[in-house]
Amino acid sequence: MFGLQSSGAAASWVVGRMGTDAHLYDDPDDASIPALLDSRFDADKVDALKRLLALIAQGVDVAHLFPQVAFPISLLRFSSSSSSSSCCCSHYSIRLTPGSELRTYRWSRTLHRSRWRSRSLFTSTSYTTPTSINSFPRCGSRRQNEALLSVNIFQKDLSDINPLVRAWALRTMAGIRLHVVAPLVLVAVKKCARDPSAYVRKCAAYALCKLSDLLPDEAMALEEIVDILFGDNSPGVVGAAALAFKTVCPSCLALVSKHFRRLCETLPDIEEWTQIILIEILLRYVIARHGLVKDSLLSVEIQGINDSDPVASMPTQHDSAGNGLCGTISNIMLFRHYIEEFSGFPDGEGDSLRLSSVTTSGNNDVAILLKCTSPLLWSRNSGVILAAASVHWIMAPIGDMLGNILVFAKTMPLLFAPFYEEFFINASDPYQTRALKLEILTTIATEPSIQAIFEEFQDYIKDPDRKFVADTVAAVALCAQKLPSIATTCLEGLLALVFYESSISNSGHFDGEDAVLVQAIMSIKAIVKVNPVSYEKVIVRLVRSVDKIKEPAARCLIIWIFGEYNFMGSLISRIVSAVLKYLAWTFTADVVETKLQILNASAKVIMHCPEEHMEEFKRIVAYVIELSTYDLNYDVRDRARLLSRLLPCYTTRRGPSHHPPNGDICKELAYHIFDGKLQPSSPSTNNYRIYLPGSLSQVVLHAAPGYTPLPKPQSMGLSHNKIIEPNRNNNSVAESGSSIYESSSVYDSESEGDGLSDRGTDGSLHHQDNQDAPLVHIYDTSIQQGQTGQNAEENFADLISTDLTELMSKSALESWLDEAPADTLVQNSLQASSARVTFTNHSFEQKPKLHTLLDSSDSNGLRVLYAFSSEVSPRSRILVCVDLYLENVTTQQLTDIAIKSEEASSGVDSIGQTSEGSVSVPTIVPVEGIHSLAPQQTAKMVLEVHFHHHLLPLKLSVLCNGKIHPAKLHPDIAYFVRPLPMDLNAFLCKENQLRGMFEYARRCAFKDHLDKLEHSDKNLQVAHSVASKILSNTNVHLVSMDMPVTFNVDDTSGLCWRFSSEIPSTSKPCLITVLAEGHASGPLDLTVKVNSEDTVFALNLLNRVVAIIE
Partner 1 sequence: MLQCIFILSDSGEVIVEKQMVGHRVDRAICGWFWDYVLANAAGDPSKILQVVVSPTHYLFQIYRNGVTFLACTQVEMPPLMAIEFLSRVADVLTDYLGDLNEDIIKDNFVIVYQILDEMMDNGFPLTTEPNILKELIAPPNIVNKMLNVVTGKSSTLGSKLPDAAASFVPWRTTVVKDASNEVYVNIVEELDACVNREGVLVKCEAYGEIQVNCSLPGVPELTMSFANPTIMNDFTFHPCVRFRPWESDQVLSFVPPDGQFKLMSYRVKKLKKTPIYVKPQLTSDSGNCRVSVMVGIRNDPGKPIDSITVQFQLPPLIVSADLTANYGTVDILADKTCLWTIGQIPKDKAPALSGNLRLEEGLAQLHTMPTFQVKFKIMGVALSGLQIDKLDVKNTPSAPYKGFRAQTQAGKYEVRS
| 535-574 positions binding partner 1, by CB under 8 A | none
CB of 543 to partner 1, least distance (A): 24
- Which among 171, 656, 684 is positioned nearest to 409, based on CA atoms? 684
CB of 695 to partner 1, least distance (A): 6
Among 27, 31, 35, 43, binds partner 1 (CB under 8 A): 43
CB 184 within 8 A of CB 199: no
Give the total residue count for the chain. 1110
Does 910 contact partner 1 by CB under 8 A? no
Q: Please list, in sequence order, all residues whose beta carbon lies within 8 angstroms of the beta carbon of residue 897, skipping any fewer than 6 positions away.
A: 862, 886, 929, 930, 931, 932, 933, 939, 958, 959, 960
Question: Stretches 146-154, 169-177, 593-601, 788-796: which one binds partner 1 (CB under 8 A)?
Answer: 169-177
Does 1024 contact partner 1 by CB under 8 A? no
Q: Quick one: 243 or 256, whose CB is closer to partner 1?
A: 243
Among 447, 459, 814, 1110, binds partner 1 (CB under 8 A): 459
CB of 767 to partner 1, least distance (A): 41
- Which among 286, 203, 278, 285 is positioned nearest to 245, based on CA atoms? 278
Does 21 contact partner 1 by CB under 8 A? yes
CB of 418 to partner 1, least distance (A): 11
CB of 266 to partner 1, least distance (A): 11
Does 59 contact partner 1 by CB under 8 A? yes
| Distance separating alpha carbons of residues 102 and 441, to the nearest angstrom | 57
Q: Is the dihedral of CA 424, 425, 428, 430 positive or negative?
A: positive
Among 220, 325, 452, 904, binds partner 1 (CB under 8 A): 452
Q: Quick one: 67 or 383, whose CB is closer to partner 1?
A: 383
CB 381 within 8 A of CB 298: no
CB 848 within 8 A of CB 825: no
Which parts of 275-334 interact with partner 1 (CB under 8 A)? 276
Question: Stretches 657-665, 697-705, 731-739, 1048-1056: which one binds partner 1 (CB under 8 A)?
Answer: 697-705
Does 889 contact partner 1 by CB under 8 A? no
Does 1071 contact partner 1 by CB under 8 A? no
CB 516 within 8 A of CB 498: no
Q: Quick one: 418 or 726, whose CB is closer to partner 1?
A: 418
Q: Please list, in sequence order, all residues whose beta carbon lies within 8 angstroms of the beta carbon of residue 438, skipping any fewer than 6 positions away.
A: 425, 468, 471, 472, 475
Q: Quick one: 234 or 751, whose CB is closer to partner 1?
A: 234
Q: Quick one: 459 or 794, whose CB is closer to partner 1?
A: 459
Does 748 contact partner 1 by CB under 8 A? no
Which parts of 478-537 interact with partner 1 (CB under 8 A)? 500, 504, 507, 509-510
b/e burial code for range 938-953 (CB count within 10 A of at least 16 → b):
bbbbbbbbbbbbbbbe
| Distance separating alpha carbons of residues 491 and 538, to the nearest angstrom | 8
Question: Stretches 330-338, 639-647, 706-714, 898-906: which one binds partner 1 (CB under 8 A)?
Answer: 706-714
Q: Please list, in sequence order, all residues whose beta carbon lies within 8 angstroms of the beta carbon of residue 328, skipping any fewer than 6 positions away.
A: 301, 304
| 786 to 805: interface string for partner 1, x by CB under 8 A | --------------------
| Distance separating alpha carbons of residues 472 and 470, to the nearest angstrom | 5
Among 73, 147, 167, 334, binds partner 1 (CB under 8 A): 167
Does 671 contact partner 1 by CB under 8 A? no
Which parts of 255-274 interact with partner 1 (CB under 8 A)? 268-269, 271-273
- The CA–CA distances, whole Å, from 460 to 520, 527, 684 equal 14, 20, 20
**C-alpha 1093: how far from chain center:** 8
Amino acid residing at 892: Q
Which parts of 966-985 interact with partner 1 (CB under 8 A)? none
Q: Quick one: 94 or 632, whose CB is closer to partner 1?
A: 94
| 989 to 1008: interface string for partner 1, x by CB under 8 A | -------xx-----------
Which parts of 354-383 interact with partner 1 (CB under 8 A)? 375, 378-383
CB of 527 to partner 1, least distance (A): 23
| Distance separating alpha carbons of residues 608 and 791, to the nearest angstrom | 44
CB 865 within 8 A of CB 852: yes
Question: Where does residue 955 rank: exposed (0-12), middle (13-18), buried (19+ CB within 10 A)?
Answer: middle
CB of 175 to partner 1, least distance (A): 8
- The CA–CA distances, whole Å, from 437 to 142, 200, 358 equal 59, 46, 35
Q: Please list, in sequence order, all residues whose beta carbon lies within 8 angstroms of the beta carbon of residue 51, skipping any fewer than 6 positions away.
A: 24, 28, 29, 31, 33, 36
Q: Which letter does DSSP use for residue 905 in this model?
A: H
| Distance separating alpha carbons of residues 559 and 599, to the nearest angstrom | 10
- The residue count for binding partner 1 (CB under 8 A) is 125
Does 863 contact partner 1 by CB under 8 A? no
Question: Stretches 8-16, 534-542, 631-639, 965-973: which one binds partner 1 (CB under 8 A)?
Answer: 8-16
Question: Stretches 94-102, 586-594, 756-764, 1031-1039: which one binds partner 1 (CB under 8 A)?
Answer: 94-102
Among 71, 106, 673, 682, binds partner 1 (CB under 8 A): 106
Q: What three-state secondary structure class fits 344?
A: coil
Question: Stretches 487-495, 691-699, 775-783, 981-989: which one binds partner 1 (CB under 8 A)?
Answer: 691-699
Among 25, 71, 560, 741, binds partner 1 (CB under 8 A): 25
b/e burial code for range 570-598 (CB count within 10 A of at least 16 → b):
eebbebbeebbeebbeebeebeeebbbbb
Does 190 contact partner 1 by CB under 8 A? no
- Which among 290, 103, 184 is positioned nearest to 711, based on CA atoms? 290
Does 132 contact partner 1 by CB under 8 A? no
CB of 462 to partner 1, least distance (A): 4
CB of 135 to partner 1, least distance (A): 18
Amino acid residing at 736: S
Question: Stretches 97-105, 603-611, 629-637, 1014-1022: which one binds partner 1 (CB under 8 A)?
Answer: 97-105
CB of 1066 to partner 1, least distance (A): 14
DSSP, residue by residue, 398-461: GGG----SHHHHHH-HHHHGGGGGGGPPPTTS-HHHHHHHHHHHHHH--HHHHHHHHHHHHHHT
